[in-house]
Structure 1
Amino acid sequence: LSVQLSQPVKGQLAARVVDSKGQVVYQQSGINLAGSNLLQLSVAHLPQGTYQLTLTNGSDFTATGSFVK
């Protein structure tokens, strides 16, 4: 899964994927970002279904979206 995003300053970012049952099925953190970035998340191991992705830097940025695999 590829996600294009832009951060005005360098910082840490945490990504979390939750399945339709509310279980966290993937987490990735410690991603340093500055400017425009393409975030690659490895979701190949996940079964078909609908998932919610949350990206946050822990302070002033949170973005959510969903995807179907």
Structure 2
Amino acid sequence: MTTNMGKFDRGGRLAIAAALLVLALGTSVLGAGILFWLALIVAGVFTLTAFVSNCPLYSIIGLKTCKAC
């Protein structure tokens, strides 16, 4: 698996994932319905892709946000 995400992109994804987790688990804004589960899934995907530095969607469209790859 090749790296296609830069540090700024990875940090942004982790920040968005943290915000989604706070909304889903820390407040009652999203309730317990589909938005709750969607927020958890998106947060999980963003966290996973940030840690492995590879976004499958970026690979499909040919986008790279890292300078050294």
Q: Who wins on radius of gyration, i.e. which is larger?
A: 2
TM-score normalised per structure 2: 0.23
TM-score normalised per structure 1: 0.23
Larger helix proportion of the pair: 2
Could you say which structure has the greater relative contact order, defined with CA pairs below 8 angstroms and 6 or more residues apart? 2
